[in-house]
């Protein structure tokens, strides 16, 4: 099966390199881009959940996005998405405009997550305004569906209404619900007309079988070659079972040590010689006492 959306594929929800004082480490962003581009990623998402996006101020986000856009010049085929959602509509509009001005192909936008008991009319009005004011005719917006974190999700009817109102600019969603039933419902309701990128490695093959166009996952920071193998096998009509089983088992191990950003940063340091980047509070360093246990568990999957 060949997927035709130009932004289809495997995306890493990139970690954000930080200096010891917690400020963005701009000098490391090109190294990270080079690493992930060379390991099978079609694209990268900066400032998503794994990238600690909500922990940064608007000027810091702008700094990180500029560094990523500049680093992408060495890899012009690499797609860039930016996490620009905040509870403030005006702030989200500004960050979204900036991402497109910098050459990002798309944005991934959380719903305004402070007021949780809002109507679908209110959510539609919020996204409708954002799309009209900040997304150019050649840009795309993906809603970020992660209700376990935001407390607000995208219903099938809301997705349909946004798609009808903005058939090109509202492309679809990043589905990080972890709900296999919802992935199936998306496929049944929209088929290939909605651009869906799953956020859960365990559901990668299941999502592809239900018309998803790829994935954006935290685990792609270290497992992008395996995700790419599964992607390529699916596109060629082959079986993804072996790769999917490995992805599922690896995700089960990593899920035992939440939250993901400090664990991934420690693994990237230990496995790939990146600096030991810190995380922003309230996240904290991963316990050194546990890292060898994690590595040995992951190594056992291929032994």
The C-alpha atoms of residue 232 and residue 42 are separated, in whole angstroms, by 12
Helix pair 220-235, 241-254: axis angle to 10 deg: 160
Which residue's entry shows tokens 């919020």?
126
d(C-alpha 106, C-alpha 173), whole Å? 11
- Asked whether 247 and 219 are in contact (CB, 8 A), the reply is yes
- Calculate the CA dihedral of residues 24, 178, 105, 112 and round it to 10 degrees: -70
Terminal alpha carbon distance of the chain: 32
Radius of gyration (C-alpha) of the chain in whole angstroms? 18
Residues 6+ apart with CB under 8 A from 301: 246, 249, 250, 253
Give the Cα separation of 227 and 267 in Å (integer). Answer: 18
Catalytic residues: 49, 114, 144, 174
CA separation for the pair 41, 162 (Å, rounded): 29
- The C-alpha atoms of residue 10 and residue 149 are separated, in whole angstroms, by 23
| Helix and strand counts by DSSP (H, E) for the chain | 12, 8
Q: 31, exposed or middle or buried, with CB in 10 Å at 0-12, 13-18, 19+?
A: middle
């Amino acid at each position: 099966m060949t997927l035709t959306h130009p932004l289809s594929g495997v995306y890493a929800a990139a970690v954000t390199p930080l200096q010891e004082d917690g400020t963005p480490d701009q000098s490391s962003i090109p190294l990270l881009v080079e690493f992930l581009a060379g390991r099978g990623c079609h694209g990268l998402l900066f400032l998503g959940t794994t990238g600690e996006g909500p922990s940064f101020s608007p000027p810091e986000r702008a700094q990180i996005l500029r560094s990523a856009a500049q680093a992408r010049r060495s890899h012009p085929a690499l797609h860039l998405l930016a996490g620009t959602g905040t509870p403030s509509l005006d702030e989200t509009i500004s960050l979204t405009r900036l991402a497109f001005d910098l050459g990002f192909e798309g944005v991934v936008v959380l719903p305004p997550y402070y007021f949780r008991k809002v109507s679908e009319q209110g959510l539609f009005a919020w996204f409708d305004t954002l799309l009209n004011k900040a997304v150019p005719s050649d840009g795309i917006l993906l809603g970020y569906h992660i209700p376990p974190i935001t407390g607000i999700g995208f219903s099938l009817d809301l997705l349909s209404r946004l798609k009808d109102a903005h058939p090109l600019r509202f492309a679809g969603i990043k589905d990080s619900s972890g709900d296999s039933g919802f992935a199936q419902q998306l496929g049944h309701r929209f088929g290939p007309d909605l651009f869906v990128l799953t956020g859960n490695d365990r559901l990668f093959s299941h999502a592809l079988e239900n018309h998803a166009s790829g994935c954006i996952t935290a685990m792609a920071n270290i497992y992008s070659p395996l995700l790419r193998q599964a992607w390529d096998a699916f596109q060629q009509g082959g079986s993804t079972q072996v790769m999917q089983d490995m992805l599922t088992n690896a995700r089960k191990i990593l899920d035992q040590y939440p939250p993901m950003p400090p664990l991934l940063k420690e693994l990237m340091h230990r496995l790939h010689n990146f600096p030991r980047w810190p995380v922003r509070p309230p996240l904290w360093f991963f316990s050194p006492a546990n890292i060898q246990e994690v590595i040995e568990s992951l190594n056992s999957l291929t032994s």
